[in-house]
Structure 1
């Protein structure tokens, strides 16, 4: 079986295209990112977070910079807006050992984060979507934005191919996925021939929540 190509994305500072792991290393030394950093009276701890989907959804990833003074509720809101929100489900943060207690969203990032720390964010306790959060590093300086989080890189939309003809797919058939009796993804042309499953056809979004519950895509930025 051919190995699936790793998803790639662009650095917002210099435009370089890299994989998730390559991006983590690149952002630590990107000259343009360094030029964007400022010092001033508002210096605080700023945390580099690498976030990706769990359980086979690793092609979806983000690199964020989060202000240390911001609470985890701000990170929860951001993940909901860019990736997850569909029906107002509950969510929680836990440490990545699966036996830990819930971490209060009222806690400030600087009271929880340390380089190397790994957390799990769970959205929806029925049809759950889990994301893994790793603290890659920390710097002191002036935030790059007035918002609690700044997007430094994001994966490009992973390529899905039509299960009928092999062309780029635009829709998922949830009935086929559930019953495993046909193509899971279809192009626009074969979606028309899939009309008996019209109600089950869902758009493909750049999110690990694609095809789950009532997810209809991300909110409009800024988050």
Structure 2
């Protein structure tokens, strides 16, 4: 996807249109954001270099993570590495080759790797500090009861019964487990099935 975005004609046209507008040019950072464990969930983001890391923290909460207003931090290295202040700007932190870790929730943690793909000088393609360029397609899920496509997750099955916990709509309605609450919707997020996560905020992102 990094190679595709670098060569994509529609993206090049969007960048050229933005750069043709009046105003100051700023560093624009292309970030690859992935869940730190398997890398199955990923986002390609473009971030205004003058925006603080707090904007990226808010964005990740909205699109991937927010469930119970847990604490979070950026750090250099893996979880519990050297903290990086949220007030620092993207251009100060995301130099070529830089990799940061974002941790959301210090109990049931979601850990995300944030890597710099490239940095360009120009104008943002949107009025927002962060633009979503691409993300992974939703992962395929199969109902553990009937094999149909699944849209719900029983965390009791997942954590206590060593089963996938994935359920179709029909079996989610009739599922007997309730110790962890009703089955949760499966979201395109590494936070699915964790804590009280029930899905992302409404788009646009």
Same fold (TM over 0.5): yes
Task: After the TM superposition, list the runs of 4 or more consecutive aligned residues in structure 1 that deviate by more than 4 angstroms.
Answer: none
Q: Secondary structure at the match of 1:212?
A: coil
Structure 1's unaligned 5+ residue stretches are 1-22
CA drift at 1:170: 1.2
Residue 134 of structure 1 corresponds to which residue in structure 2? 115
Contact 1:175 1:200 (C-alpha < 8 Å) held by counterparts: no
1:221 aligns with 2:199: no
CA drift at 1:196: 4.0
CA drift at 1:96: 2.5
Give the TM-score of the pair, scaled to structure 2: 0.91
Give the TM-score of the pair, scaled to structure 1: 0.84
Q: Secondary structure at the match of 2:83?
A: coil
CA drift at 1:183: 4.6
The verdict on how the C-alpha distance between 1:197 and 1:183 changes in structure 2, with shifts beyond 3 A counting, is: farther
The verdict on how the C-alpha distance between 1:36 and 1:84 changes in structure 2, with shifts beyond 3 A counting, is: same
CA drift at 1:195: 3.0
Residue 35 of structure 1 corresponds to which residue in structure 2? 13
1:115 aligns with 2:93: no
Residue 16 of structure 1 corresponds to which residue in structure 2? none
What root-mean-square deviation, in Å, do the aligned CA atoms of Structure 1 and Structure 2 show?
Answer: 1.7
The correspondence of residues 4-23 of structure 1 with structure 2, limited to 5 A, is: 23=1
Residue 35 of structure 2 corresponds to which residue in structure 1? 53
Residue 131 of structure 2 corresponds to which residue in structure 1? 150
How many residues align? The count is 200
Contact 1:164 1:183 (C-alpha < 8 Å) held by counterparts: no
The verdict on how the C-alpha distance between 1:143 and 1:175 changes in structure 2, with shifts beyond 3 A counting, is: same
1:207 aligns with 2:189: yes
Q: Secondary structure at the match of 2:133?
A: strand
The verdict on how the C-alpha distance between 1:204 and 1:35 changes in structure 2, with shifts beyond 3 A counting, is: same
For residues 110-168 of structure 1, the C-alpha deviation after alignment (integer angstroms, 9 at most, x for no partner) is: 11111221111000000000111110001111111111100101112111111122111
| Aligned counterparts of 1:92 and 1:148: Cα–Cα separation in 2 | 19
CA drift at 1:200: 3.9
Q: Aligned match of 1:81 in 62, 79, 87?
A: 62
Contact 2:79 2:111 (C-alpha < 8 Å) held by counterparts: no
The verdict on how the C-alpha distance between 1:36 and 1:96 changes in structure 2, with shifts beyond 3 A counting, is: same
The verdict on how the C-alpha distance between 1:142 and 1:159 changes in structure 2, with shifts beyond 3 A counting, is: same
Structure 2's unaligned 5+ residue stretches are none
CA drift at 1:210: 0.7
